[in-house]
Amino acid sequence: MIADTGLTIVGLLRQQLVPDTVAHPESIGLASPLEEGELSISVYLFDIRQSRDYQTNEMIVQNRGTLRYPPLCLELYYLITVHSRADLPVRALDSNRIIGGVMQTLHDYGSVGGADLVGTLKDNNEELRLILEDLPSERLSQIFSQKPYRLSVACRAGPILLESQRTKKVTRVLDASLSAEQRNGGQP
């Protein structure tokens, strides 16, 4: 599910930005923003947090004799970075154009479902929410501590439900007995 989320974001960006903003679909992919390569846009998972908003403690009925423990609900945080290959005099302008296209796509497709999903997200008919996030400059400084900063935007994706592998065997109640005792209004 986690890998499928990154691939869904890459697929959405390819669908919306190629060929008008980025020339080739292979120029958008999963990679660290620090890696040098042929990408024009890298999508990088930099943080994972448990989602308290969607977490449940209820067991899920798997079949008559088995309950499945509740799924782990996550929010994934991605850094989407521009790697412009334009000549120096127009590189900043090209980077601004590309990041604008990325932000517009994330805004326009804040809820992704159906054919736009990949893998298990699609198989399970999930709905993925994409939300632009503010990223403090301290966090950006940590990410780009080894290399110069590149124009980037942060995005939160979720909820991601990781199904528990743990199950519990249960049996149905077949017989129950009750007993009642009459009291005299609490008097001895």
Dihedral of alpha carbons 117, 21, 37, 110, sign: negative
Residue-level pLDDT, tens digit, the chain, 188 residues: 899 999 999 999 999 999 999 999 999 999 999 987 899 999 999 999 998 876 677 777 777 787 878 888 999 999 999 999 889 889 999 999 999 999 999 999 999 999 999 999 999 889 999 999 999 888 888 889 988 889 999 999 999 988 887 877 887 776 777 777 777 765 65
For residues 132 and 67, what is the distance between their CA atoms, to the nearest angstrom? Answer: 37
Domains in the chain: ranges and CATH: 2-169 (3.30.2000)
- Whether residue 50 contacts residue 73, with contact meaning beta carbons closer than 8 Å, is answered with yes
> What's the half-sphere exposure (Cβ side, CA atoms, 13 Å) at 31?
17
- Would you state the pLDDT for residue 172? 72
- Would you state the pLDDT for residue 114? 93
- Would you state the pLDDT for residue 133? 95
- Would you state the pLDDT for residue 116? 94
- Would you state the pLDDT for residue 44? 97
Structure tokens at 130: 């994409």
For residues 113 and 177, what is the distance between their CA atoms, to the nearest angstrom? Answer: 50
- Would you state the pLDDT for residue 55? 65
